[in-house]
């Protein structure tokens, strides 16, 4: 236990020191990392290419290759931004990420309802930990604990830096339905491959039959929460824009699977806006 604590402190201290470097230098390191990952290590290049080719069947091989390089290059730069966020000031962070439509969250919570803020692995989703600095309500990031204790503690440290709270996926239902828990915003990443295939949550997504997690919708129904989608985009000047888009205000009257269907459509729209921004290395269709 002591050894793991010391190891965590050493790793965090090292990352904090690196985060103090100028962001331009961090981007140069990210460019070098792109070259190594893409050309030398070739990390999951076959998986990425297959995922993209099936998702965009009308694109030619050369066009897929361009999108693929954009994904890897952008992914490395996102890591640079994540590292920089360890020590970045709130003022600079405020200039780095723009939020649109936050009044949707305020209206829902002020009416006594919690908000399920669904999102996908688009652009730099980790930058959303700054959301808690932008609104006056509590924000929880729903997560599944990592197997590595050091990485798990680092993730929690980063996500809670600006006031966001974290809650495990196994605890969120009990927490959101508790009479002692005031209305709040709960961030859900719901675009990975579920372990159990439910026919009620199968949709045509990126030109393929795709199963989605049912947990986000079921939680929204049980808690009668408002559901929104957070559209994340990378801007040309290396800033990020997050737009809140309504999914459902009356989850109690939606038919089964309808909330998730709307989420899937908004996620697909988000991906098609910037095809190179999604987490293509994930084996989304392995089942």
Q: What is the pLDDT of residues 65-97, one digit of tens each?
A: 999 999 999 999 999 999 999 999 999 999 999
Is 163 inside a domain boundary? yes
pLDDT band per the 50, 70, 90 thresholds, residue 59: very high
Query: pLDDT (tens digit, 9 = 90+) per residue, 230-253?
Result: 999 999 888 999 999 999 999 988
Structural domain contains residue 283: no
> CA 159 to CA 118: how far, in whole Å?
16
**pLDDT tens for residues 93-109?**
999 999 999 999 999 99
Go through 261-282 and write b for each residue having 16 or more CB atoms within 10 A of its CB, e for each that does not: bbbbebbbebbeebbbbbbbbb
Domain of residue 243, residue span: 2-277
157 within domain boundaries: yes
Q: What are phi and psi of 269, to 5 degrees?
A: -60, -40
Q: Which helix (H) or strand (E) holds 208?
A: strand 208-211
Task: Check whether 58 has a pLDDT greater than 90.
Answer: yes
Q: Do the domain assignments include residue 285? A: no
d(CA 273, CA 265): 12
For residue 122, is pLDDT > 80? yes
**pLDDT > 70 fraction of the chain, expressed in percent and rounded:** 99
Asked if residue 287 is part of any domain, the answer here is: no
Q: How far apart are CA 24 and CA 33, in angstroms?
A: 14
In a domain, 173, yes or no: yes
In a domain, 183, yes or no: yes
**Which of 74, 75, 49, 46 has the alpha carbon at shortest distance from 63?**
49
- HSE-CB at 69 with a 13 A cutoff on CA atoms is 8
Q: How confident is the model at residue 198 (pLDDT cuts 50, 70, 90)?
A: confident
Give the pairing type, strands 208-211 and 202-205.
Answer: antiparallel
Q: What is the pTM of this model?
A: 0.94
Q: Kindly state the DSSP code that residue 231 receives in the 8-state scheme.
A: E
pLDDT band, very low/low/confident/very high, at 276 (cuts 50, 70, 90)? very high
* Between 131 and 178, the higher pLDDT residue: 131
**Residue 162 forms part of a structural domain:** yes
**How much is the average pLDDT of 159-168?**
95
Residue-level pLDDT at 33: 97
Question: Structurally, how many domains does the chain consist of?
Answer: 1
115-131 as b/e, with b when 16 or more CB fall inside 10 Å?
bbbbbbbbbbbbbbbbb
């Amino acid at each position: 236990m002591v050894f793991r604590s010391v190891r965590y402190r050493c790793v965090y201290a090292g990352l904090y020191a690196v985060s103090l470097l100028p962001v331009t230098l961090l981007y140069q390191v990210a460019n070098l990392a792109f070259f190594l990952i893409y050309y030398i290590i070739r990390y999951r290049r076959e998986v990425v290419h297959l995922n993209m080719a099936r998702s965009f069947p009308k694109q030619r091989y050369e066009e897929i290759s361009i999108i693929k390089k954009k994904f890897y290059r952008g992914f490395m730069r996102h890591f640079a931004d994540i590292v920089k966020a360890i020590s970045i000031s709130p003022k600079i962070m405020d200039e780095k990420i723009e939020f649109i439509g936050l009044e949707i969250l305020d209206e829902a919570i002020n009416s006594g309802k919690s908000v399920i803020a669904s999102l996908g692995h688009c652009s730099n989703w980790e930058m959303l930990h700054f959301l808690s600095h932008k609104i006056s309500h509590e924000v929880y990031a729903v997560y599944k604990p990592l197997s590595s204790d050091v990485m798990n503690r680092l993730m929690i440290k980063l996500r809670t830096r600006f006031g966001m709270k974290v809650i495990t996926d196994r605890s969120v239902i009990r927490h959101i339905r508790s009479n002692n828990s005031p209305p709040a915003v709960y961030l859900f990443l719901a675009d990975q491959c579920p372990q159990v295939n439910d026919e009620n949550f199968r949709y045509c997504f990126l030109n393929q039959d795709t199963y989605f997690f049912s947990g986000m919708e079921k939680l929204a129904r049980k808690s009668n929460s408002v559901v929104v989608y957070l559209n994340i985009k990378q801007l040309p000047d290396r800033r990020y824009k997050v737009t809140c888009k309504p999914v459902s205000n009356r989850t109690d009257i939606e038919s089964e699977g309808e909330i998730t269907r709307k989420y899937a459509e908004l996620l697909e729209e988000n991906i098609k806006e910037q095809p190179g921004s999604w987490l293509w290395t994930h084996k989304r269709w392995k089942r």
